[in-house]
Amino acid sequence: MKDVTNYKSINKLLLKWFNINKRLFPWRVDRSPYKTWLSEIILQQTRVEQGLPYYERFIKAFPNIQLLANAQEQEILKLWQGLGYYSRARNLHFTAKLLVEKHLGTFPSSFEELIKLKGIGNYTAAAILSINFDKPYAVLDGNVYRVLSRVFNESMPINEKGAEKYYQHLADQLLDKKSPGDFNEAMMELGASICIPKKPQCEVCPINKFCLAYFMGTQQELPKKINKNIISNRTINYLFIHSDKGLFLKFRAERDIWKGLYDFPEIIDDKTGKNSMANNQFSNFPIISSINHKLTHRNLIINFHEISINTAKSKNILKVLNLENIEFIDFKNLKEYPLPKPIEIFLEEYLHNTKM
């Protein structure tokens, strides 16, 4: 076991390993702050295998920030469809427009200016500054938390109050000031490929002789986390109103996670105003599908009630429906509309089964 505070030796081994083993992602070719920003926003809360095709689609549609700024929000949300956390896409658009209007489409090169931008926090600012401006800012993401807590055998829970400051200090100490961008990427890559949550590959880890957790045999127990997640259930009853030609979609104007996307009208309780099955004239229409959709703090149980407007029973349905923000969409044009993941899954399955 070598001295864990021998930062220079750790950095040297880590950078050497990274140079040989780094994966060639498109944002690592012809680097630019725009590419770093785009990739980092897409990869937040997202595995690289899932995020990579999204990045490729975005960079193809918007090869530079001016084109992203000039795009319609609906176009951006459509490309984002399926990635979740849609506020990231809306912030991306907002910030692109602001940078084009106020900074001629360039990124500020100071931490203070960067974190003023919507959707850019400490992590993304540090990534842009180190990777594109060679400035000594250490990134701290889930992978880096894990590597740090293990290398230093640190038992402070990573979601405890004050943990971010504490781990940021460790990351700053360890940062290679001469190659901050490569060092940050090396830490993240080590956490993603070798120092993984379950069964870390310690035998082949380039810095194992400096790792306290490996020495103590505690690597599987780290990082520690306090269980704060209280998951609640919510049931949504959607009205899938359609003919042979198309269906009714509702533009979601509410300020929530699906703002700007299209879903279906919901069955709302006549008395309480809440989404409910009780006391409602629509509740007799059959449920043709149910989907369980997990969000970070919520488990959504989504029922789809079918109303075919070809049937006599449903003839008057549109008269009693609140038609605000609702439009009839031809099945052929469905591809142009950004949809939340569960709606996309439901419609794909429905269209497949009915061979539309």
Cα distance between residue 26 and residue 58, in whole Å: 12
Rg (CA), the chain: 24
State the SS3 of the chain: CCCCCCHHHHHHHHHHHHHHHCCCCHHHCCCCHHHHHHHHHHHCCCCHHHHHHHHHHHHHHCCCHHHHHHCCHHHHHHHHCCCCCCHHHHHHHHHHHHHHHHHCCCCCCCHHHHCCCCCCCHHHHHHHHHHHHCCCCCCCCHHHHHHHHHHCCCCCCCCCCCHHHHHHHHHHHHCCCCCHHHHHHHHHHHHHHCCCCCCCCHHHCCCHHHCHHHHHCCHHHCCCCCCCCCCEEEEEEEEEEECCCEEEEEECCCCCCCCCCEECCECECCCCCCECCCCCCCCCCCEEEEEEEECCCEEEEEEEEEEECCCHHHCCHHHHCCCCCEEEEEHHHHHHCCCCHHHHHHHHHHHHHCCC
Stretch of 58-66, 166-174, 212-220, 330-338 contacting ligand SF4, by CB under 6 A = 212-220
Cβ proximity to ligand SF4: between 202 and 345 the closer is 202
Point out which span in 56-64, 66-74, 213-221, 344-352 binds ligand SF4 (CB under 6 A): 213-221
Q: Is the peptide bond before 180 cis (omega within 30 degrees of 0)?
A: no
Residue 88: CB minimum distance to ligand SF4, A = 29
Q: Does 14 bind ligand SF4 (CB under 6 A)?
A: no
Interface with ligand SF4 includes 223 (CB under 6 A)?
no
**205 lines the binding site for ligand SF4 (CB under 6 A):** yes
Measured CA to CA, the distance from residue 21 to residue 134 in angstroms comes to 21
Q: Confirm whether 101 is a catalytic residue.
A: no
Our finding on whether 174 is near ligand SF4 (CB under 6 A) is no
Contact region with ligand SF4 (CB under 6 A), list: 158-166, 171-179, 205-213, 307-315: 205-213
Contact between 100 and ligand SF4 per CB under 6 A: no
Which residue number, 161 or 198, has a Cβ lying nearer to ligand SF4? 198
Query: Which range binds ligand SF4 by CB under 6 A, 102-110, 167-175, 209-217, 335-343?
Result: 209-217
- How near is the Cβ of 213 to ligand SF4 at its closest, in Å? 5
| Selected binder of ligand SF4 within 129, 144, 147, 170 (CB under 6 A) | 147
Number of residues that bind ligand SF4 (CB under 6 A): 15
Distance of closest approach, residue 174 Cβ to ligand SF4, in angstroms? 12
Please tell me whether residue 148 binds ligand SF4 under the rule CB under 6 A.
no
Q: Which is nearer to ligand SF4, 10 or 99 (CB)?
A: 10
Nearer to ligand SF4, 79 or 195 (CB): 195
Among 219, 238, 338, 346, interactor with ligand SF4 by CB under 6 A: 219
| Binding mask of the shown chain, residues 185 to 204, with x at each position contacting ligand SF4 by CB under 6 A | ---------xx----xxx--
Residues within the interface to ligand SF4 (CB under 6 A) = 147, 150-151, 194-195, 200-202, 205, 207-208, 211, 213-214, 219
Give me the active site residues, please: 40
